[in-house]
């Protein structure tokens, strides 16, 4: 066999591996092909694409430059260049590169989607939607695209044909079609069967189980627990969990953080470096390299804090980073993966009758959410006047993300405003198109635009202090506030929620039960509206609930971080004992 034939064979094997998403094997085959024909463009470009999948961006950049030196019009190389630049948050150059792709090949579906992703990262959301729509015109059946479009439109509160799109997505998922990635489905559908099936479709497509031989360590005097995240910085997950890491009993547990986020370090990162026994920066390592490191360190329990969110690294857990793998708090739902053993919850969050919709077994704690009691609230007293709020009227607020606001919940809010004269709705929505859409929708529902007021972004301590200007937090459905609801309660603002069946639709209800305010958890929007109106019309009753919240915070589980950590560690000990005894994975009650 001559050099050409050998190069061709390795190249074809690499293509087969790439198609099967076997990226490590594809890398080997493409590199062997280049050993025989070093400068073949198609091999260089495909190897660059594989290096990107393996997070080897510097190597991918070198390969991409070699391709473009030989062929400046190679649109797939420009696509690779754009992906590398996007990963490094060089969005300006990423946009220039992707526009070069579309100039050469305007019918390239993937390029339109990538351009939409870049524009979305730049907060040019309306343009992002246009790109996704262009992609759909070229290829209506492109995998997961419909969910991308709906989620992007929900970010700008564009609800045109939303019900039709959701019905089509749900039906497609029932038929095992690739209609949506997992995170968007949380705000698209409250159906537990749909959410579980969507997760399974995604996992089977991108992260199928890999059979591995993992040696169980019986010798360590301490249980080694590793938390994996891209968000060990000023991010909602770290803001909730920082004190939890600090309070772990280091005499019984050795606590590791595996960080693979590309954001710059900040004060929170510095705090976490002191909280962990070891905080390991592994952003430039491949999934397999991280797995191998975790195994060398004899990690017993691996806790995934990212789940199906941006910058997640599910491939780490596909290959078994540890004998026990847990899904916790970063993603509010099931992973749909057989290799994730447990999910941390409570009985309000995942009632036992809903456990069948989770691929994981449930670790039941007194409350699912860790909290940080050291989170400071600014001493600054915000007057309603400086916040552009009416001085003597009832202030309803919701600081949840715009994509969580659905037509159904917004119309419910409008009915509440109609029933409470002079009341206003205070939202935290930054995008101007989203603001305009919400104002127009309010007007169509008979509510004057000046009764919808938008808050600006503030630093954390001031943001928390600002909550004190509101009277009642109105939660969203089917995707509740998680951190925002917790923040409101921490700032002494009562939260009203209408819960559903899913994790995402039961978060706020769980928090309210954990702080002794179950009377603010309802199952029907009609009851949600009734209570909101009743509290707005009865200042005395509203004040009673606020005072009850202030009192309960001191001795209920929600903000009892030491109790949470003791319960969590008891769970870790229990599941480790079961592992050592080779007992099956079962629900754990703490």
Q: Does domain 223-365+564-589 have CATH number 3.40.50.11380?
A: yes
- Give the per-residue pLDDT at 102: 98
- Both structure tokens of 139: 């290829």
Cβ neighbours, 10 Å, residue 352: 10
Residue 230 to residues 53, 114, 259, 512, Cα–Cα distance (Å): 16, 21, 6, 29
- Give the per-residue pLDDT at 190: 87
> What's the longest Cα–Cα distance across the chain?
89
223-365+564-589 against 395-557: fold identical: yes
- Give the per-residue pLDDT at 262: 75
Cβ neighbours, 10 Å, residue 393: 16
Q: Which residues in the chain show pLDDT less than 70?
A: 1, 217-219
The whole model's pTM is what? 0.94
- Give the per-residue pLDDT at 218: 62
- Give the per-residue pLDDT at 417: 98
- What is the rounded (10 degree) CA torsion for 21, 25, 30, 36? -160
**Containing H/E element for 187?**
helix 182-188
197-233 burial, b at 16+ Cβ within 10 Å, e below that, comes to bbbbbbbeeebeeeeeeeeebeeeeebbbbbbbbbbb
Could you please report the per-residue DSSP string of 16-44? Answer: HHHHTT-HHHHHHHHHHHHHHSTT-HHHH
CB 305 within 8 A of CB 343: no
Residues 6+ positions from 394 with CB-CB distance below 8 Å: 420, 422, 423, 424, 471, 472, 536
CATH architecture of 395-557: 3-Layer(aba) Sandwich (3.40)
- Give the per-residue pLDDT at 219: 61
Domain boundaries, the chain: 223-365+564-589, 395-557
């Amino acid at each position: 066999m001559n050099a050409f034939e050998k190069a061709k064979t390795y190249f074809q094997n690499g293509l087969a591996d790439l198609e099967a998403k076997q990226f490590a094997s594809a890398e080997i085959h493409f590199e062997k092909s280049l050993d025989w024909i070093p400068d073949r463009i198609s091999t260089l470009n495909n190897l660059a694409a594989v290096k990107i999948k393996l997070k080897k961006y510097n190597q991918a950049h070198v390969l991409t430059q070699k391709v473009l030196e030989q062929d400046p019009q190679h649109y797939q190389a420009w696509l690779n260049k754009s992906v590398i630049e996007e990963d490094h948050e060089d969005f300006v150059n990423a946009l220039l590169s992707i526009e070069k792709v579309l100039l050469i090949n305007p019918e390239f579906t993937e390029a339109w989607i990538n351009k939409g992703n870049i524009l979305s990262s730049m907060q040019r959301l309306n343009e992002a939607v246009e790109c996704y729509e262009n992609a759909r015109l070229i290829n209506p059946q492109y995998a997961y695209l419909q969910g991308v479009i709906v989620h992007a439109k929900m970010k700008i509160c564009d609800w045109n044909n939303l019900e039709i799109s959701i019905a089509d997505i749900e039906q497609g998922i029932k038929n095992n079609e690739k209609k949506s990635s997992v995170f968007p489905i949380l705000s698209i559908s409250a159906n537990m069967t749909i959410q579980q099936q969507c997760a399974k479709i995604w996992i089977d497509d991108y992260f199928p189980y890999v059979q591995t031989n993992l040696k169980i360590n019986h010798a360590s005097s301490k249980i080694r627990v590793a938390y994996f995240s891209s968000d060990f910085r000023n991010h909602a997950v770290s803001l909730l969990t920082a004190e939890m890491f600090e309070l772990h009993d280091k005499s019984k547990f050795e606590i590791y953080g595996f960080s693979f986020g590309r954001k710059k370090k900040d004060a929170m990162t510095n705090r976490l470096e002191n909280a962990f026994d070891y905080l390991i920066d592994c952003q430039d390592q491949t999934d397999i390299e991280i797995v191998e490191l975790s195994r060398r360190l004899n990690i017993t329990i691996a806790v995934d804090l990212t789940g199906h969110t941006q910058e997640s690294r599910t491939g780490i857990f596909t290959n078994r980073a540890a004998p026990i793998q847990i899904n916790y708090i970063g993603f509010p739902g099931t992973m749909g993966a057989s290799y994730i053993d447990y999910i941390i919850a409570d009985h309000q969050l995942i009632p036992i009758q809903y456990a069948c919709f989770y691929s994981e077994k449930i670790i039941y704690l007194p409350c699912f959410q860790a909290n940080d009691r050291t989170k400071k609230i600014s001493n600054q007293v915000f007057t309603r006047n400086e916040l552009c709020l009416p001085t003597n009227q009832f202030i309803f607020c919701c600081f949840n993300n715009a994509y969580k606001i659905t037509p159904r919940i917004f119309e419910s809010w409008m009915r509440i405003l109609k029933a409470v004269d002079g009341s206003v709705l205070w939202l935290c929505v930054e995008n101007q198109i989203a603001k305009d859409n919400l104002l127009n929708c309010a007007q169509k529902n008979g509510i004057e635009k000046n009764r919808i007021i938008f808050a600006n972004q503030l630093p954390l301590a001031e943001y928390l202090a600002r909550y004190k200007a509101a009277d009642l937090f109105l939660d969203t459905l089917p995707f509740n506030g998680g951190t925002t609801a917790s923040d409101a309660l921490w700032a002494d603002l009562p939260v009203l929620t209408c819960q559903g069946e899913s994790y995402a639709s039961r978060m706020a209800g769980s928090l309210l039960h954990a702080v002794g305010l179950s009377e603010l958890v309802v199952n029907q929007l009609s009851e949600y509206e009734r209570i909101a109106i009743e509290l707005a019309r009865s200042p005395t009753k509203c004040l009673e609930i606020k005072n009850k919240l202030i009192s309960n915070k001191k001795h209920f589980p929600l903000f009892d971080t030491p109790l949470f950590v003791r319960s969590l560690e008891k769970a870790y000990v229990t599941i480790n004992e079961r592992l050592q005894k080779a007992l099956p994975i079962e629900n754990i009650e703490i």
